[in-house]
Homo-oligomer: A and B are copies of this chain.
Amino acid sequence: MVTAIVLMSVNRRRINDLAQELADLEGVSECYSVGGSYDLVALIRVRRTEDLAELVTGRMAQLDGIERTETLIAFQAHSRHDLENMFSVGL
């Protein structure tokens, strides 16, 4: 499983529509409108890196109104009560 957090600054007039269009994309598990220096945050969970490339540089890149993105690709997930201390996200 590949996990990525996509931070987006967007055209303010499209914020609600964009949030819904993003949430509707396969591979986007959650999409939040947020306070702070970004407008939207999308959590992406896909099977393979190929899916991430196809989603971020393919389908997301075609949406209207995304002005700036920063994609944070997870290379390790840490979770509570984790006996082995850490496990890879299997990216």
Contact = CB atoms under 8 A, between A and B. Distances in A.
Interface of A: 2-5, 7, 12-13, 15-16, 19-20, 22-25, 28, 30-38, 41, 43, 48-50, 52-53, 56-58, 60-62, 66, 69-82, 85-86, 88-91
B16 A77 contact: no
Stoichiometry, as copies per complex, reads 10
23 contacts: A5-B34, A13-B62, A15-B57, A16-B57, A16-B58, A20-B85, A23-B78, A28-B80, A31-B79, A32-B72, A33-B57, A33-B75, A34-B72, A34-B73, A35-B36, A35-B56, A36-B36, A36-B71, A37-B37, A41-B72, A43-B43, A53-B88, A57-B76
Given A20-B78, A24-B81, A38-B72, 6 more contacts: A12-B66, A30-B77, A32-B78, A35-B71, A36-B37, A36-B70
